Amino acid sequence: MEAVKQFFISCWANDQLRLAVDALWRMVLAAILGGVIGYERQHSHRPAGLRTHVLVAVGAALVMCTSEYVSLRYGGTDVLRLGAQVISGIGFLGAGTILRKGFMVEGLTTAASLWAVSCIGLTAGIGFWAGALIATAVLYFVLNYVKKVRNRHSSIRTIDIGVNDAYHVSERVAEIFHACGADLRSLEILFPDDSGPFLTMSKDVNKVLRARAYIKSEGDLALIKESLLGLEGVFDFNVEP
> Mind listing the pLDDT tens digit for each residue in 156-213?
788 888 877 767 777 788 888 888 888 777 777 777 665 555 545 556 667 788 888 8
Question: Does pTM top 0.85 for this prediction?
Answer: no
pLDDT exceeds 50 at position 62: yes
Q: Which of 93, 118, 151 finishes a domain? A: 151
Using an 8 Å Cβ cutoff, are 120 and 57 in contact?
yes
Same domain, 132 and 110: yes
Same domain, 78 and 16: yes
User: C-alpha angle with apex 92: 91 to 96, nearest 5 degrees?
Assistant: 110
Q: What pLDDT was estimated at residue 199?
A: 44
Total tally of structural domains belonging to the chain: 2
Range of the domain at 225: 154-239
Taking residue 193's Cβ as centre, other Cβ atoms within 10 Å add up to 8
Percent of the chain with pLDDT over 90: 0
Q: Which of 104, 126, 151 finishes a domain? A: 151
**What are the start-end ranges of the H helices in 75-217?**
80-89, 91-95, 108-126, 129-141, 147-152, 166-179
Same domain, 144 and 183: no
Same domain, 125 and 30: yes
Residue 67 binned pLDDT confidence (cut-offs 50, 70, 90): confident
Q: Which of 104, 121, 151 finishes a domain? A: 151
Using an 8 Å Cβ cutoff, are 174 and 185 in contact?
no
Same domain, 15 and 96: yes
pLDDT exceeds 50 at position 219: yes
